[in-house]
Structure 1
């Protein structure tokens, strides 16, 4: 099973045991973590890509639990960890979440805790999901279909999850060379998609092909109030370099996603980093650059969402703690 995603488990809540997670309190975490969380700027929200990692016991979760247990009920405790102010819902990339899914998540979240859900691949991928892997890549007729996205995603979110709606992450995945998007045509198609969405649907666009970062793409984002995701990913420029390629000051918010060191492969990092409870590949340059991006955004009074994957350095919670410590230290200078 993919460690980065919420599994397609039966998510029926299990019977409550003697350790009732509804009693989670911030006093359950070390005083230094609580103090650090209190000193973070109000507009800065750190979070991770999903939350169902048993290796985080002792870091985020008070006791060992299985991945299935965390997928069902771990969000309740996750959302009360002092350094977390958001979370990435990556499971939604594989299929739209149902109303029951959203109600279950909402019941576990405190008021004012926004989540960043991925737009399903059925609307985000230029090719049919699953095609192009050892076989012909088939064009996806629903790519950037606003009507389908509104019906299958936006409507349920507004109905069942409006109080926890953060920026959607529209991740445009890489595709085989023979079916690569034309940058100009992509910008035009993205513009038509965004034009059909209501203002109450915040969108951030994550690219996995640097060719698509063009003046036309930037103009579309600015016209429709969408944000470019500053991602740390295998084949993309660094987040700092991306911020220099676009005018990020005009976006309504900043989204940073730290995923995978350039030049590395997902599967190898997963095997090397399990169980994700320690820093394995610390990147001081990345930490410095991200801290600066956060500081710049807060100086512009832009809300900031920083989502960290375990594959960035080995343990997303520990990377977040390091970033928070660096950010707070710089604020004191």
Structure 2
């Protein structure tokens, strides 16, 4: 079904498709008793996917992050999505988790500040016309991810949402400008 109803329709745009992200919302214990039960289904799902596409998985259960999860993704060449989300460990913490880099490409979604709900972000940031709450830690983590990818000559796909700081284009600009400033100063300035 996935191949016929989705991938088949994307086939003519394959060269333009950077990565296909499977976002899994927070699972309750009624859905999955534990992370291993989820991983059993995830492993079967990923194993059935056709080759030739970049795939990434985003989870919202912080307790699932660990060696078994990362190992499952790695065995299929699927990237973990480093995600800034209300209940997920902050980006810099995810980056430093052993085994967190699971593919030959990197994916990041900078969506929300840790501890802030989606609804709070909407109320705080609408109409999304400027940065209202800078998040230096998230910016630094995004720069680290890009730097790692550049050093390894691998692609990195970094997605930024208005609800991270108030205005995604301005956040992206700040990350880029900060990167240029770091580059011009050198690594030990």
TM-score (norm 1): 0.53
User: 5+ unaligned residues in a row in structure 2: which ranges?
Assistant: none
Q: Does 1:264 align with 2:112?
A: no
Give the CA RMSD over aligned residues: 1.6
Q: Does structure 1 conserve the Cα–Cα contact (< 8 Å) formed by 2:82 and 2:108?
A: yes
Distance 1:230 1:181, change over 3 A: farther
**2:3 maps to what in 1?**
150
Q: 2:108, 2:57 → 1: CA distance? A: 11
TM-superposed deviation, 1:181: 4.7
Q: 1:297, 1:199 → 2: CA distance? A: 22
Q: 2:59, 2:102 → 1: CA distance? A: 18
TM-superposed deviation, 1:180: 3.7
Runs of 4+ in structure 1 over 4 Å off: none
Q: 1:167, 1:295 → 2: CA distance? A: 19
Distance 1:248 1:212, change over 3 A: closer
Q: Does structure 2 conserve the Cα–Cα contact (< 8 Å) formed by 1:227 and 1:253?
A: yes
Pairing partner for 1:309 from 113, 137, 161 = 161
User: 5+ unaligned residues in a row in structure 1: which ranges?
Assistant: 1-147
TM-superposed deviation, 1:175: 3.1
**1:229 maps to what in 2?**
81
TM-superposed deviation, 1:235: 0.2
Q: Does 1:196 align with 2:48?
A: yes
Q: Does 1:205 align with 2:60?
A: no
How is 1:161-310 mapped onto 2 (pairs within 5 angstroms)? 161-310=13-162
Please list the CA deviations of residues 53-103 of structure 1 after superposition, one character each: whole Å capped at 9, or x if unmatched: xxxxxxxxxxxxxxxxxxxxxxxxxxxxxxxxxxxxxxxxxxxxxxxxxxx
Distance 1:293 1:212, change over 3 A: same
Residue 221 of structure 1: SS of its match in structure 2? helix
Distance 1:275 1:315, change over 3 A: same
TM-superposed deviation, 1:248: 3.9
Matched positions, count = 185
TM-superposed deviation, 1:269: 1.2
Q: Does structure 2 conserve the Cα–Cα contact (< 8 Å) formed by 1:194 and 1:224?
A: yes
Distance 1:176 1:182, change over 3 A: closer
TM-superposed deviation, 1:217: 1.4
Q: Does structure 1 conserve the Cα–Cα contact (< 8 Å) formed by 2:80 and 2:101?
A: no
Q: 2:33, 2:22 → 1: CA distance? A: 16
TM-superposed deviation, 1:150: 1.7
Q: 2:178, 2:163 → 1: CA distance? A: 20
Please list the CA deviations of residues 134-169 of structure 1 after superposition, one character each: whole Å capped at 9, or x if unmatched: xxxxxxxxxxxxxx22222111111x3212111111
